[in-house]
Every structure is written in C-alpha cells, then in structure tokens.
C-alpha cells in the first residue's frame, strides 16, 4: 500500500467516525420517537408555544444586537488601535465562559434593582422573567458568531476599492453602503444565520434570567427532570426538526441573496 493510499484510508476512516459521532445520537433520538408521539407532541399547545417563543426571541436578538454589531466588525477589520487583540478576546468571551455564569453576569445588569432593569420597567419592559431577558441572554452567547464572520467578510474586501471611491469624492457612508457592505454580505448573512441558530439552543443563560415564559430547551429539561427520557425525547426530536428546517431555509435564502 502506497503512502498516498494509506493517508486516504486513514482520513476517510476518521471522517466517517466523526460523521457517525454526529449523526448516531440524532438518528437514535428520531428513531426512538414513534409517529403517535410526534403527533401528540405537535398537538401539545405548551410545546408549540415554546417553539414559537424560542424562534421569535432568537430572531429578535439577532436583528437587534446582530445588526448593531456590524459597525464594530468593520472597525476590527479596517482599523488599527491599541489593545485591539484584547477587544477581539473580549468578543469571544461569551463562547468560552460557562453559560450559567453568563446568565449570572447578565442578571446583575438587568435585575430589577439595576439601572437597566429600572429603566426597562419604567417603559414596561421586564427582563427578569420576561421575553426581553430571554432575547438578551440569547444574543449575549451568540453574538460572537456574527461579529467574527462579519469581520472576516470586511477584511476580505479590497481596501483599494474603498480608497478609490473616497478619492473620487464618495462619502464614507456611501462607500460603506455601496462597496464594503455589499461585498461582505455573504459573510454577514452567514454570521446572522449562525447567531440565530446558536440563540435557539441556549439554555444556561436563559434559565437564570427567565425560567418562564419557557423556551423549548428549558421545557425539554423540565420534562426530562420531572417525567424522564420518554417524555422529553419527543419534544427534543420535534424541536430539532423544526430548527433544522428553518435553518436550512435561512441558509438557502442567504446564499441566494449573496449570489444575486
């Protein structure tokens, strides 16, 4: 056996094992859920309400915080400034810290005794035990995916095109919206999709801030701890299917828009 063939075999074997590692648990979950269980779960008002809330809260977090973070991604891609590496490290912190710790940290900012909490309550927004708190928690843990993707997208835009447009008299705003943003669009859309998808799966930070109203990851945990695997698995299977379908649709739409 030649070295070329041996490396192919090893790589294919390892690739197959990794794919099996990902697929096997999901396949087992789907196969161990019967058709009547799927029907019963889809007819469960509590389950469907939690799925709608989860999709909507993650979408709101992505739109509000994701779009607001695009200028930061552009600055990180284009500007040099002191402690830039520290800023990049701070952006990645929500990914590496325990999400229960993230929930505790957020709670300290949005609790009813804090300035943010009091300001929210003055206009009818409750973070603790409210949808606003769920949105903030989801956005906090998922925003690095969007910032990093958008930063890479802006970094790939040829800087000479921006400088040429400025030299021809275009304003910085026009350069950003007609050159930088369109050319980085594919990365930004991909980052928004990943941010939204990551927000859907959040559990640790959300349960600290808002046990109720109950998002689907919290509902799955509650049914597992209260009633066992047989009651939690159908909810998990339905939620994973819904997330996969919506995520695939979003990726197809984002790819079609970026290719347009």
pLDDT band for position 258 (cuts 50, 70, 90): low
The single-letter DSSP state of residue 214 is P
User: Which residue in the block uniquely carries the two structure tokens 């995520």?
Assistant: 247
Q: How far apart are CA 260 and CA 258, in angstroms?
A: 5
Q: What is the C-alpha to C-alpha distance for residues 245 and 255, in angstroms, rounded to an integer? A: 15
**For the chain, what is the mean pLDDT?**
92
Q: Write the burial class of residue 155 (CB in 10 Å: 0-12 exposed, 13-18 middle, 19+ buried).
A: middle
Angle, vertex CA 60, rays to CA 54 and CA 62, nearest 5: 100
Q: What is the pLDDT of residue 85?
A: 92
Tell me the pLDDT tens digit for each residue of 195-246: 999 999 999 999 999 999 999 999 999 999 999 999 999 999 999 999 888 8
Query: Tens digits of per-residue pLDDT, 157-168?
Result: 999 999 999 999
Residue 236's Cβ-side half-sphere holds a number of Cα atoms within 13 Å equal to 21
């Amino acid at each position: 056996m030649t070295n070329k063939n041996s490396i192919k075999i090893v790589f294919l074997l390892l690739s197959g094992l990794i794919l099996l590692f990902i697929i096997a648990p999901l396949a087992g979950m789907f196969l161990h859920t019967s058709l009547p269980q799927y029907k019963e779960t889809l007819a469960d008002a509590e389950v469907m309400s939690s799925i709608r809330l989860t999709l909507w809260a993650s979408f709101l977090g992505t739109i509000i915080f994701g779009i607001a973070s695009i200028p930061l991604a552009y600055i990180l891609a284009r500007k040099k400034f002191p402690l830039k590496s520290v800023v990049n490290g701070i952006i990645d912190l929500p990914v590496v810290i325990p999400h229960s710790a993230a929930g505790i940290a957020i709670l300290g900012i949005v609790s009813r005794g804090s300035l943010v909490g009091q300001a929210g309550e003055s206009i009818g927004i409750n973070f603790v035990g409210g949808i606003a708190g769920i949105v903030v928690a989801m956005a906090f843990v998922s925003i690095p995916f969007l910032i990093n993707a958008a930063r890479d997208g802006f970094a790939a835009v040829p800087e000479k095109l921006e400088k040429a447009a400025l030299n021809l008299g275009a304003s910085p705003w026009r350069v950003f919206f007609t050159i930088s943003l369109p050319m980085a669009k594919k990365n930004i859309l991909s980052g928004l999709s990943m941010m939204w998808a990551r927000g859907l799966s959040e559990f640790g930070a959300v349960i600290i801030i808002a046990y109720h109203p109950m998002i689907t990851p919290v509902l799955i945990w509650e049914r597992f701890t209260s009633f066992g695997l047989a009651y939690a698995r159908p909810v998990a299977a339905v939620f994973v299917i819904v997330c996969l379908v919506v995520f695939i649709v979003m990726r197809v739409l984002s790819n079609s828009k970026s290719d347009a």
